Amino acid sequence: MHEPSTTLERHAPRVLRTPAARQLSSSFVTIDITVPGTSSSVGRRALHTALGTDLRLYVMTIDKRHERITFRVEVMSRSVDDVIAALTGGLERATIGRVRATAIKRLQDA
C-alpha cells in the first residue's frame, strides 16, 4: 500500500561570507547665532564655552549700528537638541537663526 520513499538530500552551495561592514552615522549641525556686541572675540569665547572646542565658527555679519554679530557655527557628532540646549544654557541673549542637521553615514569594516 504505502511504498517507502527516498529523500533526496540537497546541499546548499557554500558561500564565502566576508565580514559585514557596519554603517556608522554621525550628525553635523549648522546653526546661525546672533550675539550682542561688536567684538567677534567675545562672541567666539562664549560659543566655545557653551559648545566646547569641537566646532567651527565663521563670522557672517558684524552690525555695528545695532551692536550684534552673527556667526555660523558647525558642530560634529551632536544632535540639534544637544546644540540648542547648550546654547540656551550658556548664552543669555543669543538669537538662534537657521538650523540645519545633516546625517553623515560611512561604512566601517567590522
**Domains (ranges, CATH) in the chain?**
24-105 (3.30.70.1150)
- Cα gap 44→39, rounded to integer Å: 9
pLDDT of residue 15: 58
C-alpha cell at 4: 517507502
pLDDT exceeds 90 at position 108 = no
Reported as a pLDDT band with limits 50, 70 and 90, residue 13 is: low
Tell me the pTM: 0.67
Choose among 80, 79, 89, 77: nearest CA to 50. Answer: 89
Q: How many helices (H) and strands (E) does the chain have?
A: 2, 4
Query: How far, in Å, CA of 51 to CA of 34, rounded?
Result: 15
Q: Is the pLDDT of residue 39 over 60?
A: yes
- In order of 27, 63, 71, 78, 101, the CA distances from 104 in angstroms are 6, 34, 23, 12, 10
